[in-house]
Amino acid sequence: DVKVTQSSRYLVKRTGEKVFLECVQDMDHENMFWYRQDPGLGLRLIYFSYDVKMKEKGDIPEGYSVSREKKERFSLILESASTNQTSMYLCASRLTVNTEAFFGQGTRLTVV
Amino acid sequence: GESVGLHLPTLSVQEGDNSIINCAYSNSASDYFIWYKQESGKGPQFIIDIRSNMDKRQGQRVTVLLNKTVKHLSLQIAATQPGDSAVYFCAENRPRFGNEKLTFGTGTRLTIIP
């Protein structure tokens, strides 16, 4: 079974802190994604990566950056956390285009 | 269906009945579609997918219908069970300069009434 693991289930950070959310997949998938999920807004794409060191902005990239130095790991970085970044963050990976994406359990981030 | 805002579309169905969840997608170039189920406290889980060269695909108790003319996708769940209660999302694969992003709708909450 494909496993997508997010480093934390719950995280509380202070405004202005630099925050790292880590995601690791164990199936040699090419594509990886970061989404945030807010009530009534569904999953909104922040960034995605189609290969190592390659990244593309999603629909809401402002305030975020990403890093993919190794194929199995995709990190989401909040350069200076703000309260409006309080959300559920979901990582996903897929083998290649037009295949199903597998999700991690999510990280609930609270910025105070 | 799709909506923007704080209120999730909801659908309540009697246990044992069939349910239909609808989704409108936005990009006529989208070529692959997926339905996901999300239970409370969990990440979304794959249910069924369909490629744009098909208009219907069936799985176990689920059927997805694709109408490209009106850019509409539906998920039919037969003989619903209490475990089907969840939020359901449709996702579309959008080609973008050769790199393809996977975009989700806002979701529909399905409640099965015992």
pLDDT confidence of B22, banded at 50, 70, 90?
very high
| 3-class DSSP assignment, residue A84 | helix
CB A104 within 8 Å of CB B37: no
The answer to whether the Cβ–Cβ distance between B8 and A40 falls below 8 Å is yes
Closest-CA distance, A58 to chain B, in angstroms, reads 8
Task: Name which residue leads in pLDDT, B42 or B5.
Answer: B42
Question: In the prediction, which pLDDT does B26 show?
Answer: 83
- Selecting from A56, A98, A100 the residue whose C-beta is nearest the C-beta of B101 gives A56
pLDDT, mean over chain B = 89
Using alpha carbons only, how large is chain A's radius of gyration in Å? 13
Chain A residues touching residue B103 (CB < 8 angstroms): 45, 59
Question: In the prediction, which pLDDT does B4 show?
Answer: 33
Q: How many inter-chain contacts (A to B, CB under 8 Å) are there? A: 71
How far apart are the C-alpha atoms of B3 and A33, rounded to whole Å?
A: 23
Chain A residues touching residue B96 (CB < 8 angstroms): 56
Closest chain B residue to the Cα of A57, Cα to Cα: B101
**Average pLDDT of span B75-96:** 93
CB B67 within 8 Å of CB A4: no
- Residue pointed to by tokens 């989404």: A35
Chain A residues touching residue B107 (CB < 8 angstroms): 42
**Average pLDDT of span B52-79:** 96
**Average pLDDT of span B87-113:** 87
Question: In the prediction, which pLDDT does B2 show?
Answer: 37
The answer to whether the Cβ–Cβ distance between B49 and A100 falls below 8 Å is yes
Position B97 pLDDT exceeds 80 = no
Question: pLDDT tens for residues A10-69?
Answer: 999 999 999 999 999 999 999 999 999 998 889 999 999 998 989 999 999 999 999 999
Position B1 pLDDT exceeds 60 = no
CB A47 within 8 Å of CB A66: yes
Residue B35 burial (CB < 10 Å; 0-12/13-18/19+)? buried
Long-range contacts of B91-94, Cβ-Cβ distance < 8 Å, separation of 24 or more? B91/A101, B91/B33, B91/B34, B91/B35, B91/B36, B92/B25, B92/B26, B92/B27, B92/B30, B92/B32, B92/B33, B93/A97, B93/A98, B93/B30, B93/B31, B93/B32, B93/B33, B93/B34, B94/B27, B94/B29, B94/B30
- Selecting from A44, A50, A103 the residue whose C-beta is nearest the C-beta of B44 gives A103
